[in-house]
């Protein structure tokens, strides 16, 4: 397919997604109201069989399917350009691959985000994932700062970490702001997906970044020495893990942090009412996110504190100037900052 047809089709899907997340969401919320709904089950009983909800759910499931696997989807488009894309990455395979690493089952059994084959099984998966991530937040304006930049702003308001570990870095979008804005700091970025890591490493080389290293590694079992980092961070990683794996990640974050170091994660957690929780749980099913609901039901502050951290905080995060955290005008991910400190003694 040619670039013009692909771009037009993807733009149409984005427009449809914007309609779904604003007009359709508002109509669904207005049809439900607030009376009598004390639990997610109450909301489900009230609206799950309605035509409006079923159309809303159909839109969400199939817009995502068409985005990735439709006739003008991301996978067929990039597959046609496979040879050229892979040729760009030929030199990016030294530390991005651990031949002995066995990928955990929770990571491989589901095509997360409806990404065919997941983000790990195909050499071009990093390119597909990167393009797909551009429309994760349809309400953000093109002129606004990306959510990763805003998250980095939040962290750097407090201090300038010298040694950073980015867990689950993907294709490097969460890593790039730290690398660019802290040129004197050392950044280690790890992920399970070799295709994503190779793309991240390629982008860093193109940007002539010398303070970052991308490595394939399980965030729950790294090879770093204890006390190696003063910041451990992740973006949109925790909700893709089963609860026990999240506990293992928290244990590892505590181990590799220096005393007084901080752990700061950005994820989807704070859901202020049962209607949004019902919608969020439905999104998890429709978007192939089996661990999103169990994550949302964790008592995070207590869990983090039980791992030895102090000053555990869980707070909503405003990912865009266009989003009202207290309003219900449009569907949005429940962006949340989870932070804590390793005691100095």
Q: Cα(273)–Cα(271) distance, rounded to whole angstroms?
A: 6
> What is the tally of helices (H) and strands (E) in the chain?
15, 7
pLDDT tens per residue across span 41-75:
999 998 999 999 999 999 999 999 999 999 999 99
Compute CA distances 268 → 9, 68, 88, 284, whole Å: 29, 22, 33, 11
**pLDDT at res. 319:** 86
Pairing of strands 163-167, 212-216: unpaired
Q: What is the pLDDT of residue 186?
A: 97
In our burial notation (b when 16+ CB lie closer than 10 A, e otherwise), range 167-176 reads bbbbbbbbbb
Contacts of 210 (CB under 8 A, 6+ apart): none
The answer to whether 291 touches 283, Cβ cutoff 8 Å, is: no
- Bridge partners (DSSP) listed for residue 266: 235, 337
Sign of CA dihedral 190, 116, 138, 268: negative
What's the DSSP call for residue 32?
H
Helix, strand or coil, per DSSP, at residue 97: coil
Q: What is the pLDDT of residue 137?
A: 65
* In the block, residue with structure tokens 């809303």: 56
CA 324, chain centre distance (Å): 21
Q: What is the pLDDT of residue 88?
A: 82
* Domains defined for the chain, CATH in brackets: 3-89+101-133 (no CATH), 147-341 (3.40.50.150)
Contacts (Cβ under 8 Å, ≥6 apart) of 137:
147, 319, 320, 332, 333
Flag residues of the chain having pLDDT under 70: 34-36, 91-95, 99, 137-144, 328
Which pLDDT score, from 0 to 100, does residue 320 have? Answer: 83
Question: Integer distance in angstroms from the first to the last C-alpha of the chain?
Answer: 60
**The dihedral sign for the CA sequence 85, 86, 91, 92:** positive
Alpha-carbon gap, residue 304 to 314, rounded angstroms:
10
**pLDDT tens by residue, 290-318:** 999 999 999 999 999 999 999 999 999 98
Quote the CA–CA distance of 23 and 50 in Å, as a whole number: 17
pTM (predicted TM-score): 0.93
Q: Specify the 3-state DSSP secondary structure of 157.
A: coil
């Amino acid at each position: 397919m040619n670039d013009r047809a692909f771009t037009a089709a993807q733009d149409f899907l984005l427009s449809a997604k914007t309609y779904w997340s604003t007009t359709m969401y508002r109509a669904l919320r207005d049809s439900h109201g607030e009376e009598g709904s004390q639990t997610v089950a109450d909301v489900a009983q009230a609206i799950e069989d309605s035509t409006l909800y079923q159309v809303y759910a159909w839109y969400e499931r199939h817009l995502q399917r068409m985005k990735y696997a439709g006739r003008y989807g991301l996978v067929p488009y990039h597959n046609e350009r496979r040879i050229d894309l892979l040729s760009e990455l030929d030199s990016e395979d030294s530390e991005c691959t651990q031949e002995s690493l066995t990928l955990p089952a929770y990571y491989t059994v589901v095509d997360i985000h409806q990404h065919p084959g997941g983000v790990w099984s195909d050499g071009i998966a990093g390119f597909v994932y990167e393009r797909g991530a551009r429309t994760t937040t349809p309400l953000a304006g093109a002129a606004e700062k990306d959510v990763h930049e805003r998250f980095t702003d939040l962290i750097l308001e407090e201090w300038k970490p010298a040694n950073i570990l980015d867990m689950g870095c993907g294709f490097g979008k969460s890593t790039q702001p730290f690398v660019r804005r802290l040129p004197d700091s050392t950044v280690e970025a790890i992920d399970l997906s070799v295709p994503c890591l190779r793309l991240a490493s390629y982008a860093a080389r193109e940007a002539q970044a010398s303070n970052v290293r991308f490595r394939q590694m399980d965030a729950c079992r790294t090879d770093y020495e204890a006390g190696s980092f003063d910041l451990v961070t992740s973006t949109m990683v925790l909700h893709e893990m089963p609860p026990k794996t999240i506990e293992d990640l928290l244990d590892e974050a505590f181990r590799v942090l220096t005393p007084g170091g901080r752990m700061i994660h950005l994820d989807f957690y704070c859901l202020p009412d049962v209607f949004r929780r019902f919608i969020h749980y439905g999104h998890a099913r429709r978007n192939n996110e089996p661990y999103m609901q169990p994550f949302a039901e964790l008592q995070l502050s207590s869990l983090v504190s039980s791992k030895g951290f102090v000053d555990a905080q869980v707070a909503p995060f405003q990912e865009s100037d266009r989003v009202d955290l207290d309003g219900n005008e449009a569907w949005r991910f429940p962006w949340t900052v989870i932070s804590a400190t390793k005691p100095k003694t």
